[in-house]
Amino acid sequence: METMDRAMMETAYGLLPAPMLLAGRDGEAGWHCVYENPAAESLPDRSRILSSLTEALDAAYAGSVQDKCAVELEGRHLTARLARQSGELVAVLLRDETWELLRYQEQLQAASAALQSALDAATAASRAKSDFLSHMSHDIRTPLNAIIGMTTIAQSHLDERSRVADCLEKIDLSSRHLLGLINDILDMSRIESGKMALSPEEFTMADFIHGLMAVLQPQADKKHQNLTLDFSGIRCENVRGDQLRIQQVLINILNNAVKFTPEGGDICLRVRETGERYGPSGTYAYYEFTIRDTGMGMSPEFLTRIFQPFERAGSVNRIEGTGLGMAITHNLVEMMNGTISVSSQEGVGTQFTVTLPLEQLDRPETGAEELRGLRILAADEPAPLAHLKEIAADLGLVCDGCDSNMAAMDMAAQAHMEGRDYFAILLAWRLPVVDGVKACRELRAMMGDSVPIVLTSSYEWTLSDDEMRKYGITAFVSKPMFRSRLVQTLLSFTEAGAKQAQDADESAPDFTGRHVLLAEDNEINREIAVELIGMFGAEVDCAEDGRQALEMFSASVPGYYGLIFMDLQMPVMDGLASAMAIRELPRTDSATVPIIAMTANAFVEDIRACHQAGMNAHLAKPISLQQLTDVLKEWLR
């Protein structure tokens, strides 16, 4: 028999989600409801329930039945549990088992739906990865086939210099494409594992955007596309952020714009500050990058999954790619606390908008005061000319402008005749009637070399230094024209600027007589590095592991090695341990000899580990000649 205090029952059952009520008997008046919990509102009329149970309850009251009885009422299965005290019936608990069954069924259905959803997601992910592997098998084999095939062709035509050069160019393009595929796969893997880290650094918007245009403009030119840039909304050029990742985001989007826009189409990159501030100190500003094209566009269905890994639009099978670019882009934007949105219409085009917070840096503009009051002449199309004149006015320059090189020639000739030559003349390379090169030659014939002439263009510059001197071109500046670039270019024409340029001669360095220690365990990589470094005249000694490098440095005369290139993953002793051991040697040059990591370990934490081990810089494989040149010029003094 159950013994239970009524107050305790009310407290306990009032918290239950199932409908329940308590019934009591009041002498000869019969049974009535003395308590019902909130969930009991779902029960039918409580008086009818008690009426249908009267006979059973009376029998229970008389003590002639068990402690539990049941009744069916309007399709609901109700049970009564009797509560007694000192052997006497004091209350009846009614329980709606139909409700509980329905609730249980609902829970089973919800669980089943959740399991089915998880199964569908797993199946879709598995299918996507299988499709991805199938695509990757094709996309990786395509450049590999080109590399192997072109190598075979080059080997069979060694006496035909032009044929070999053509093969080498195609091998270079294919290898870079293959490297891009591998980088996408590695980036996605690191993002999914949570190991991707940001590396903020200081940079200028001028250099950053010129770098983007240098990559994209040649691609757009090949398809005769009109690639334009609007950056009039930038007020602060000096910022801090992860330049490499921001560039990766924008190049991913811009590359797609070039790929999917037909010949003669339009692509526009617009950069502006939104005016919103970010961060407690307000030093961060939101920069908005909008990429708009007139390409093939995307379907509404594909837009819903564009940022999912391994996805590629079904209509672009002939265009190579991993299907990871947009997923990587989306994740990188989120990592940088930014936002990305896309709108598209098939047959019309696509627009991406990326908004990122960047720390704005207050950097003094060195030398700009020397330009105040100087007169310059500029010829360009209306929009870029208006922007240039706005910058010039802000700098205190007097800028006369015109929309053709022919008009600029007339204005320069008039000023020369009056004895008031311009400080500098800026001509647009590609303007109708007279291009910039022809205008420059005619101006030189008329007024000599007294006035610097600058050619500006958003197109890839193809003239060599010798050709520039032949035509009388003093300098070339890529558009868009940023304030900092204009200041830097004009200052180079002053006496102080000319001396500074002479001091920073950019000719190929000559390190004849200098000694470099190279630690590299891979024979082919070692051969490549020795050949590239030897091009600058330096002598290279090789070690096949970190222990050997340590021993060779220890055995050398202090100051003998001017630079050490160190691989990281090597047998016997790795590069990090070798570098730390070199730094601890009791000799005068152990703390000062530059140690440069030359490794395929290219992630942020790898670079950090190199610095912690005492290395001065990090050079990621594959090595480009320009990167190697910069490192040698900076560290092999």
Which one has a higher pLDDT value, 115 or 279? 115
Band of residue 496 on the pLDDT scale cut at 50, 70, 90 = low
Q: What is the pLDDT of residue 318?
A: 46
pLDDT at 190 over 80: no
Q: Is the full-model pTM beyond 0.75?
A: no
Determine the pLDDT at residue 313: 61
Measured CA to CA in angstroms, residue 270 lies from 58, 264, 504, 588 at distances of 86, 19, 34, 54
More confident residue, 29 or 245: 245
Ramachandran region, residue 396 (left: φ > 0; alpha: ψ -120 to 50; beta: rest)? left
pLDDT (0 to 100) of residue 60: 64
61 burial level (CB within 10 Å; 0-12, 13-18, 19+): middle
Q: Quick one: which of 562, 549, 554 has its CA closest to 514? A: 562
- pLDDT(503) > 60: no
Find which of 233-242, 549-558, 627-636 is predicted with most confidence, using mean pLDDT.
Answer: 549-558
pLDDT in tens, 592-612: 999 999 988 877 788 889 999
Helix (H, G, I), strand (E, B) or coil at 89: strand
Q: 105 versus 30: which is more confidently predicted?
A: 105
- Which pLDDT band, with edges at 50, 70 and 90, does 167 fall under? confident
Is the separation of the CB atoms in 80 and 56 below 8 Å? yes
Residue 428 · residue 381 · CB < 8 Å? yes
In tens, the pLDDT along 508-546 reads 678 999 999 999 998 888 988 999 999 999 999 999 999
**Domains of the chain: residue spans and CATH:** 1-145 (3.30.450), 201-360 (3.30.565.10), 368-503 (3.40.50.2300), 515-635 (3.40.50.2300)
Q: Is the predicted pLDDT of residue 126 greater than 80, yes or no?
A: no
Average pLDDT over residues 272-297: 85
pLDDT, tens digit (0-9, with 9 covering 90-100), for 236-278 = 889 999 988 898 899 889 989 998 999 999 999 999 988 777 6
Amino acid letter, 192: E
Assign 319 a pLDDT band (cuts: 50, 70, 90).
very low
pLDDT tens for 453-484 read: 999 987 666 667 777 888 889 988 888 788 88
Cα dihedral 531, 535, 536, 541, rounded to 10, equals 20
Mean pLDDT of 397-411: 93
Contacts of residue 64, Cβ cutoff 8 Å, sequence gap at least 6: none
Q: What is the pLDDT of residue 545?
A: 94
pLDDT range class, residue 358, cuts 50, 70, 90: very high
Q: Assign 408 a pLDDT band (cuts: 50, 70, 90).
A: very high
Residue type, 538: A
Residue 36 CA: distances (Å) to CA of 30, 56, 87, 244, 489: 18, 20, 24, 67, 88
Rounded Cα distance, 271 and 291, in Å:
9
Q: If pLDDT is split at 50, 70 and 90, which confidence band does 2 have?
A: very low
Q: Which two tokens stand for residue 440?
A: 């420059």
Residue 228 has pLDDT above 70, yes or no: yes
Residue 164 confidence (pLDDT) above 50:
yes
268 in Cβ contact with 292 (< 8 Å): yes
pLDDT cut 90: percent of the chain above it: 33
Q: What percent of the chain has pLDDT over 70?
A: 76
CA–CA dist 481, 471 (Å, integer): 22
pLDDT digits (tens, 9 = 90+) for 192-219: 777 777 888 889 888 888 888 877 888 8
**Does 415 have pLDDT greater than 60?**
yes
- The pLDDT confidence band at residue 43, using thresholds 50, 70 and 90, is low
Q: Which range is least confidently modeled, 18-32, 87-101, 138-152, 199-213?
A: 87-101
Please report the beta strands in 512-594, taking only residues with DSSP state E, as ranges in sequence order.
515-519, 539-543, 561-566
Range in 232-236, 318-322, 380-384, 605-609 with the lowest mean pLDDT: 318-322
Q: Which pLDDT does position 92 carry in this prediction?
A: 55
**What is the reported pLDDT for 1?**
32
Q: Give the model's pLDDT for residue 139.
A: 63
Structure tokens at 482: 């940023």
What does the mean pLDDT of the chain come to? Answer: 81
